[in-house]
Chains A and B, each alone.
Chain A
Amino acid sequence: MRNALTDEELHELAAKQTALGELRGTPAVDPVNVPMIRHWLAAMGDENPVYLERGLAPPAMAQVWTMPGLRRAVKDRSPVDELMAALDASGYTGVVATNCEQVHHRYARVGEVLTPATRFTSLAGPKRTALGVGFFATWNITWYAADDEPVAEMLFRVLKFRPREKKPARTPYPLRPAVNQDTAFFWEGVRQGELRVQSCADCGLLRHPPGPLCPQCRSANRSYAVASGHGTLYSYVVHHRPPVPGRETPFVVGVVELPEGVRVVGNVVDCPIEEVAVGMPLRVTYRPMDDELVLPMWTPGEP
């Protein structure tokens, strides 16, 4: 396992690799040949007759002649590899090709054996990109025919990036509320950071837990008030045993009296258990329990 390098050390390594200049690779195992050209043309749907008629390789095939294919073991040493490994080790594990630029001096001819040569060209970065912070690495490959005649050149650039921390999907919290038409507004509220108390749209009575009708005037016209978020601890328990799914013991659950005149149940958090007391002032807080459920909880507050 390689060590992570600093950005500066990565640039130093890049400079070293650039200074190596052009490294010759192994000549192609097969000369430019008709069967591979025919196969390539068919796969691309390219009906240009010029290649087979005149014994020429399609220019975009330049790289194909020296691809190792399934003979991975014979892969050439390249000045690129070490830098790619260093970027991986430094956390820039993502890779995406960004540019491919080919210059064709002439078309390769059937029978020619091409030899690749690679030089590392540049490392730029770190840069902020849509995929994450990363480095752009660029190298060039030239394919030579006999007598060191360059047939084609290619610039290739990749972005090596640090993948954004993908928040792993949280384990679903096991203690889920049942929700229906009468209670959905409450749970929607806590998701939005509001503590909603059902109110009667006709007589104004506040009520919690909510229900379909106003117990005072029997109206089914419901609305809600957003509570101030202040409360006073009316009673509480400290749960020790037995273990509760999704919870670490001990934990505190309280009945909280709101200045609006209703009580709600919730956990008392961010308070040493021995300091929890009936009558203590509380302030609401909203805690995501998983990717979906938010629960209103209570922390010590100003009186």
Chain B
Amino acid sequence: MLSGRAAVAGIGATEFSKESGRSELRLAAEAVLAALDDAGLSPADVDGLVTFSQDANQEIAVAREVGVGDLTYFSRVEYGGGAACATVAHAAMAVATGMARTVVCYRAFNERSGRRFGQPDARLGGQPTSQGLEMSWHVPFGLMTPAAWVAMFARRYMHTFGATSEDFGRVAVAMRRHAATNPAAWFHGRPITLEEHQASRWIVEPLRLLDCCQESDGAVALVVTSAERARDLRRSPAVIAAAAQGSAAGQLMMTSYYRDDMSGLPEMGVVGRRLWEMSGLSPSDIRIAILYDHFTPFVLAQLEELGFCGRGEAPAYIADGGIELDGRLPVNPHGGQLGEAYIHGMNGIAEAVRQIRGTAANQLDGVANVLVTAGTGVPTSGLILSAG
């Protein structure tokens, strides 16, 4: 079993900005060095690197820059932001099996000043790869931005459960409220009201501008090593109590419109079941959830898939203050990607580690277990990090 075998021993990040002014490789190197420094380790200790398939910085390039020597483990995880928690899962597996001793997970991009994922790219449906063919059922119709792909689910969720734009808006308001008191957040000091959310312009109905997360330049890195060794390092460890990847029947990239039901995220259900099973924990054991929030509607679906509330109950759960810092399940105390930065979910894992260490900007008390999820609408992943 993987549970308890590995831990996150170090976290590092660059500043989060709209224009880093630096190459993506440099951002990756800076974050990796910061994470090693945080863990009290040096590049010479690293023998494994894991990143996203989408990352533009190859492991060997990062290794050269920071001075890592021999690598015995390297891997990439597919499916956009769905890779975030899975990089830690792969690192933990490598550590648990002896493939490597110290693995650094990283994600670095200039997603605002460089290639922006939200901009239509006519090449999406261009090649007859399985993904290009999949995209070809949607892109020719102009259905080709992440906001539009998610909006299609959001409309069906609204229709099925009677949810409204305000229900989505409350997520954005909560995230911006959390970010307002996090100095590392781009939206530090800039909370919004539900009225402002409702007044914000349509991006793709039913999604408004304030339902969509920001675009950021930056990098985050995480050092994974054995739980045993982590306990001897500089920081108190965030033990990987559970790690899981998930894809469900009839899965497509962001456009799983052909399954019986379109009101949920079955792949996140797969991840949730695995996390509970592996950790032996249940939703009531979770103090904080870091839920992937590139678009507000999928925060609701995740609360339901992970069992924090029943089907269709998320709107009431949120309206009731459930995801606030003083709520039943504080969600994204750092402000999430809506408030802090969009680093493809990796900054959320770092927040989970800080909450366990007791060093977060919006630190909560009694944090034993934090659940973290990765990108939604795609094959995804999740973690439960625990104190110890």
Direct contact of A and B (CB under 8 A): yes
User: B197 contacts the other chain (Cβ, under 8 Å)?
Assistant: no
6 contacts between A and B (CB under 8 A): A178-B128, A179-B133, A234-B257, A237-B143, A243-B120, A263-B258
Name the B residues within 8 Å of A174 (CB-CB). Answer: 122
Name the A residues within 8 Å of B144 (CB-CB). Answer: 175, 244
Write the A263-303 contact mask toward B (1 if CB under 8 angstroms, else 0): 11111000000000011000000000100010101000000
User: B55 contacts the other chain (Cβ, under 8 Å)?
Assistant: no
User: A238 contacts the other chain (Cβ, under 8 Å)?
Assistant: yes
> Which 7 pairs from chain A and chain B are nearest by CB?
A177-B136, A238-B205, A235-B156, A180-B128, A237-B151, A178-B132, A178-B128
Instruction: List residues of A (176-197) whose CB comes within 8 Å of B's CBs.
Output: 176-180, 182-183
Taking a contact as CB atoms under 8 Å apart, the answer to whether B205 and A253 are in contact is no
CA–CA, A265 and B139, complex, Å: 10
Query: Chain A residue with minimal CB distance to B252?
Result: A209
User: B118 contacts the other chain (Cβ, under 8 Å)?
Assistant: yes
For chain B, the bracket of interface size reads 35 or more
Say yes or no: A265-B151 contact (C-beta < 8 A), given A175-B122, A242-B119.
Answer: no
CB-contact partner of B140 in A175, A250, A278, A279, under 8 A: A175
Query: Chain B residue with minimal CB distance to A245?
Result: B122
Taking a contact as CB atoms under 8 Å apart, the answer to whether B205 and A240 are in contact is yes
Instruction: List residues of B (191-210) whose CB comes within 8 Å of A's CBs.
Output: 201-206
Name the A residues within 8 Å of B153 (CB-CB). Answer: 235
CA–CA, A255 and B119, complex, Å: 22
Q: Whole-angstrom distance from the CB of B155 to the nearest CB of chain A?
A: 5
Taking a contact as CB atoms under 8 Å apart, the answer to whether B126 and A265 are in contact is no
Name the A residues within 8 Å of B145 (CB-CB). Answer: 239, 242, 244
Taking a contact as CB atoms under 8 Å apart, the answer to whether A255 and B152 are in contact is yes
Name the B residues within 8 Å of A237 (CB-CB). Answer: 143, 148, 151-152, 155, 204-206
Q: Whole-angstrom distance from the CB of A53 to the nearest CB of chain B?
A: 74
Write the B130-146 contact mask toward A (1 if CB under 8 angstroms, else 0): 00111111111111110
User: A213 contacts the other chain (Cβ, under 8 Å)?
Assistant: no
Query: Chain B residue with minimal CB distance to A239?
Result: B204
CA–CA, A183 and B133, complex, Å: 8
CB-contact partner of B202 in A241, A244, A265, A293, under 8 A: A241
Taking a contact as CB atoms under 8 Å apart, the answer to whether A178 and B127 are in contact is yes
CB-contact partner of A265 in B127, B133, B137, B203, under 8 A: B137
User: B22 contacts the other chain (Cβ, under 8 Å)?
Assistant: no
Q: Whole-angstrom distance from the CB of B145 to the nearest CB of chain A?
A: 7
CA–CA, A251 and B140, complex, Å: 13
Taking a contact as CB atoms under 8 Å apart, the answer to whether B156 and A278 are in contact is yes
Q: Whole-angstrom distance from the CB of A24 to the nearest CB of chain B?
A: 66
Residues of B whose CB lies within 8 Å of any CB of A are 118-120, 122, 125-129, 132-145, 148, 151-153, 155-156, 159, 201-206, 255, 257-258, 262
Taking a contact as CB atoms under 8 Å apart, the answer to whether B204 and A240 are in contact is yes
CA–CA, A160 and B139, complex, Å: 47
CB-contact partner of B141 in A238, A243, A267, under 8 A: A267
Most chain B CB within a 10 A radius of its CB, from A176, A208, A264, A289? A176
Taking a contact as CB atoms under 8 Å apart, the answer to whether B136 and A253 are in contact is no
CB-contact partner of A241 in B128, B134, B201, under 8 A: B201
Query: Chain A residue with minimal CB distance to B159?
Result: A278
Q: Whole-angstrom distance from the CB of B377 to the nearest CB of chain A?
A: 13
Instruction: List residues of A (245-266) whose CB comes within 8 Å of B's CBs.
Output: 245-247, 250-251, 253, 255, 262-266
User: A136 contacts the other chain (Cβ, under 8 Å)?
Assistant: no
Residues of A whose CB lies within 8 Å of any CB of B are 173-180, 182-183, 208-209, 234-247, 250-251, 253, 255, 262-267, 278-279, 289, 293, 295, 297
CA–CA, A263 and B156, complex, Å: 14
Say yes or no: A183-B136 contact (C-beta < 8 A), given A176-B125, A241-B201, A255-B262.
Answer: yes
Name the B residues within 8 Å of A208 (CB-CB). Answer: 258
Name the A residues within 8 Å of B132 (CB-CB). Answer: 178
Taking a contact as CB atoms under 8 Å apart, the answer to whether A178 and B155 are in contact is no
With A235-B152, A238-B202, A265-B257 known, 4 other A-B pairs at CB within 8 A are A209-B133, A237-B148, A244-B142, A246-B122
Q: Whole-angstrom distance from the CB of A61 to the nearest CB of chain B?
A: 62
Taking a contact as CB atoms under 8 Å apart, the answer to whether A239 and B142 are in contact is yes
Taking a contact as CB atoms under 8 Å apart, the answer to whether B120 and A245 are in contact is yes
Say yes or no: A266-B136 contact (C-beta < 8 A), given A178-B125, A235-B153, A238-B202.
Answer: no
Taking a contact as CB atoms under 8 Å apart, the answer to whether A235 and B148 are in contact is no
CA–CA, A175 and B137, complex, Å: 11
CA–CA, A264 and B205, complex, Å: 19
Taking a contact as CB atoms under 8 Å apart, the answer to whether B201 and A240 are in contact is yes
Taking a contact as CB atoms under 8 Å apart, the answer to whether B203 and A241 are in contact is yes
Name the A residues within 8 Å of B206 (CB-CB). Answer: 237
Query: Chain A residue with minimal CB distance to B202?
Result: A240
Q: Whole-angstrom distance from the CB of A261 to the nearest CB of chain B?
A: 11
CA–CA, A201 and B134, complex, Å: 23
Taking a contact as CB atoms under 8 Å apart, the answer to whether A239 and B148 are in contact is yes
CA–CA, A237 and B142, complex, Å: 11
Taking a contact as CB atoms under 8 Å apart, the answer to whether B119 and A265 are in contact is no
Taking a contact as CB atoms under 8 Å apart, the answer to whether B258 and A295 are in contact is no
Taking a contact as CB atoms under 8 Å apart, the answer to whether A180 and B133 are in contact is yes
CB-contact partner of A236 in B139, B152, B202, under 8 A: B152
Query: Chain A residue with minimal CB distance to B255?
Result: A265
Query: Chain A residue with minimal CB distance to B137?
Result: A209
Name the A residues within 8 Å of B129 (CB-CB). Answer: 178
